[in-house]
Amino acid sequence: MNEAVPAQLASAVVWGGFALAFLFGAVANRTNFCTMGAISDIVVMDDWNRMRMWLMALGVAILGTSGLQLAGLIDVSKSIYTPSTLTWLSHVVGGLLFGVGMTLASGCGSKTLLRIGTGNLKSLVVAIIMAITAYMSLRGLLAVFRVGAIDPVSIKLAVAQDLPSLVAVGTGVARGTVLAASALLLGGGLLFFALRSREFRTFDNLLGALVAGGVIVATWYLSGAVGHVMEDPQSLEEKFYATNSGRMESLSFVSPLAYFLELLMLWTDKSRIVTLGIATTLGMCAGSFVYAAATRRLRLESFRDARDLLNHMLGGVLMGFGGVLALGCTIGQGLAGMSTLAIGSFLTLLSIIAGQVVTMKWQYRNA
C-alpha cells in the first residue's frame, strides 16, 4: 500500500494530471488533433490522415491500458465505464446529442478548451454554457429527467461490461488471456491500419497520436495506481484521491467543466478541491495557450452574427447534457472509455460519429 500521506497523493494526482494535459494541449494544438476534424476530413475531402492519427492514438491507449491491467497496476472495473449495468439508451441518446452539439459548436470539449487557449471567444461562450448545462444534468433540473426517464432503460449483465470480461464468461477462457488477445487484435490492428499509409507517417501525425494515446494511459496510471490506496487512513476504505467520481479516472472534458464551475462558485467551501478532472481541463487550456503564444498564433475571434452565436450556444447545451448522459465526450469515451474496451464506450463513440455526420450533411445542404 502506498504510505504517502493523503495530501501528498492528492497533490501528485492533481499536478501530474495538469502536466499531462498541458503536454496534450500543446501537442494537440501543434498537430491539429481533433475528432470532429478527423471525421469532417473524411466526409468533405475523403482525407483519412487525421482519422489515422486519431485511430493510432486509440490503438496506443488500448495497448497501454491493457498492459497496465495485465501487469496488475490498475483495475478498469473501478472506473465509471465498466459497470455491469449497461445504460444503452443513455449512451446512444447522449452520444447523438453530443455529436450534433459539437458540430454546431465547431468542436468537442477538448477542441473547445484548445481554442480558448488561442483566444477564441466563441469557444469561451461554449465552455461556459456547456459547464452550466452539464452541472444541471449532474445535479439540477436536467438530472431529474436523466435519472427518471433515460438512465433506467438498461440491461443488467452478469459481469462487467468490458469486452474481455464478457467474452471470458461466455467462453470460459481466462479474462487475462482474452484481454491480451483483444488488445493485440484491436489495438495492434488500429496501429497497423494507421501506419500502413506512407502519407500518414509524418512527424506531426506520429507525435499527435503517440502523445494523445500515451497521455490517456499515463492518466489511468496516475489515478489508478499513484493516487490509489486500499485503505484510507481516515475512512479505512479503498480510495482514489482527487477524483470527482471517487473512482479511477482518465481524461474527459464535460463533467470536469461542471465541477470547475462549482469550485469557482463555492470557492470558500473548503470541501471543494481541485481534482484531476479540473486540473486536466486547466492543463489543456494552458498547454494550448503556451504553444499559441510561442508560435505567435494568439488572436481574438468572435461570432460572425446572431445565427453563429445561437448555433454555438445550442451546441454547448447539447454537449453539456449529452456528455453527462453518455458519461463522456470524444476523449472521455472515445479514447479513455474505449481503452477499457467497454461496450457502452463503443455505443457512445458510434453515436457521436453518427450525430456529427448527419448534422454536417444537414449544414451543407442548408448553407
- The alpha-helical segments, DSSP class H, found in 71-140 are 88-104, 109-117, 121-139
Rounded to an integer, what distance in angstroms lies between the CA atom of residue 57 and that of residue 313?
A: 30
Give the model's pLDDT for residue 234: 80
Name, in order, each residue with C-beta under 8 angstroms of 110's C-beta and a sequence gap of 6 or more: 28, 34, 35, 251, 253, 284, 329, 330, 331
pLDDT by position in tens, the chain (length 367):
444 578 899 999 999 999 999 999 999 999 999 999 999 999 989 999 999 999 999 999 999 999 999 999 999 999 999 999 999 999 999 999 999 999 999 999 999 999 999 999 999 999 999 999 999 999 999 999 999 999 999 999 999 999 999 999 999 999 999 999 999 999 999 999 999 999 999 999 999 999 999 999 999 999 999 999 988 888 778 999 999 999 999 999 999 999 999 999 999 998 899 999 999 999 999 999 999 999 999 999 999 999 999 999 999 999 999 999 999 999 999 999 999 999 999 999 999 999 999 999 998 888 7
| Beta strand segments in 273-345, E | none
Q: CA–CA distance from 43 to each of 36, 199, 353, 360 (Å)?
A: 11, 19, 11, 9
Give the position of cell 453515436.
Answer: 351
Quick one: angle between helices 255-265 and 306-325, nearest 10? 100
Residue ranges of domains in the chain:
6-365
